[in-house]
């Protein structure tokens, strides 16, 4: 099964590979097992993201908030939010992921400026979680199921039908007061910007021997402030986040290269093979060699 590796820019914004050039729309049904370590890296993008749980459960982090998505739940993540999904108790799940760029609402600039841009710029509107057991959650799921079917059938001009459904969904969210229009831009969250800078530094320098002092300096904050921000937004210490990213990167190398395990350990920033193996077993329940053999089956 083909693995999905999210590509990130230096500011850890995702490089989204749309299906058709010039149509900023991404629709994919996938199992979480196709992601290295059954987890995506922490990232953000200009697209609005919809997740619809087809089966199983998945955990989601958005700006430090932890959400459990149950079967048939739906989640909308607003544009420019720090987020990532990962497995619930190391269990697989199947889900629909839709990335929908706001420009697809831009056929009329007045509508875009009146009903879309103010929502994106509202820092209080981070995400919407719709529960499967609630009537509203079932209504939202119907919209997303329509989009899933349109993509599966892939009839001529299906993208236009998807945009039409998304217009209906957006209008419904506005009418029900779930999306809030603000008269002016909300103030940006300075701590969130600091977090972005520090995570970006880790993504760029994870292969090097970097210290907590250097991570804090990349955000121009003290060590204690650095730890508080990581705890708030990512529920991890800076060092734990660094090691987690190194391990996820090693998973990708184990799956997709023929490098030796020692080479992979050092290229991911681990000084000692024994420590790398110990952390790998702790996080994934198997040795790096066992992981490689499992993935090659």
Q: What is the pLDDT of residue 137?
A: 97
Q: What confidence tier does 2 reach under pLDDT thresholds 50, 70, 90?
A: low
Per-residue buried b or exposed e for 198-229, using 16+ beta carbons within 10 Å of the residue's own CB: bbbbbbeebeeebeeeebbebbebeeeebbeb
The answer to whether 84 and 8 are in contact (CB under 8 A) is no
User: Would you say residue 240 has pLDDT above 50?
Assistant: yes
Q: What is the CATH number of domain 25-175?
A: 2.60.120.280
Q: What is the pLDDT of residue 186?
A: 42
**In this structure, what is the dihedral angle of CA atoms 190, 196, 182, 144, given to the nearest 10 degrees?**
-160
The alpha carbon of residue 123 and the mean position of all alpha carbons in its chain are separated, in whole angstroms, by 18
Taking the domains of the chain in order of start, what are their residue ranges? 25-175, 190-296
Structure tokens at 247: 């391990």
Q: What is the pLDDT of residue 95?
A: 97
CA atoms within 13 A on the CB side of 118: 12
Q: What is the pLDDT of residue 13?
A: 62
User: Would you say residue 6 has pLDDT above 70?
Assistant: no
Please name the helix (run of DSSP H) or strand (run of DSSP E) that holds residue 14, with its range, or none: none
CA atoms within 13 A on the CB side of 4: 18
Q: List the single range of 18-22, 57-61, 115-119, 191-195 with lowest mean pLDDT.
A: 18-22
Q: List the single range of 35-44, 59-68, 141-150, 241-250 with lowest mean pLDDT.
A: 35-44
Percentage of the chain with pLDDT > 90?
A: 55
12: left (phi over 0), alpha (psi -120 to 50) or beta: left
Highest-pLDDT range among 34-43, 67-76, 102-111, 235-244: 67-76
Q: What is the CATH number of domain 190-296?
A: 1.10.10.60
Q: How much is the average pLDDT of 208-225?
A: 93
Residue whose C-alpha is closest to residue 249's, from 273, 265, 233, 271: 265
Q: What is the pLDDT of residue 187?
A: 41
């Amino acid at each position: 099964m083909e693995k999905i590796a999210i590509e990130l820019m230096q500011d850890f914004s995702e490089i989204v590979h749309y299906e058709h050039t010039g149509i900023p729309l991404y629709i994919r049904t996938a199992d979480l097992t196709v992601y290295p370590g059954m987890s995506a890296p922490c990232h953000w993008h200009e697209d609005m993201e919809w997740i619809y749980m087809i089966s199983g459960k998945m955990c989601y982090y958005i700006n430090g908030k932890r959400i459990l998505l149950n079967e048939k739940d739906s989640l909308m993540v607003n544009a420019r939010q720090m987020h990532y999904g990962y497995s619930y108790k190391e269990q697989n799940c199947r889900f629909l992921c839709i990335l929908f760029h706001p420009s697809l609402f831009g056929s009329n600039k007045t509508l875009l400026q009146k009903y879309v841009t103010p929502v994106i710029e509202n820092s209080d509107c981070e995400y919407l979680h719709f529960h499967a057991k609630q009537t509203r959650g079932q209504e939202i799921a119907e919209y997303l199921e329509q989009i899933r079917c349109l993509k599966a059938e892939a009839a001529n001009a299906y993208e236009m039908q998807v945009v039409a459904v998304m217009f209906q969904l957006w209008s419904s969210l506005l009418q029900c007061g779930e999306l809030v229009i603000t008269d002016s831009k909300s103030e940006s969250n300075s701590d969130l910007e600091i977090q972005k800078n520090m995570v970006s530094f880790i993504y760029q320098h994870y292969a090097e021997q970097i210290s907590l002092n250097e991570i804090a300096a990349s955000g121009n904050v003290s060590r204690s402030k650095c730890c508080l921000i990581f705890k708030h937004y990512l529920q991890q210490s800076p060092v734990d986040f660094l090691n987690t990213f190194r391990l996820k990167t090693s998973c990708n190398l184990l799956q997709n290269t023929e490098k030796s395990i020692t080479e992979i350990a050092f290229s991911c920033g681990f000084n000692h093979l024994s420590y790398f193996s110990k952390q790998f077993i702790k996080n994934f329940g198997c040795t790096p060699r066992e992981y490689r053999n499992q993935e090659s089956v």
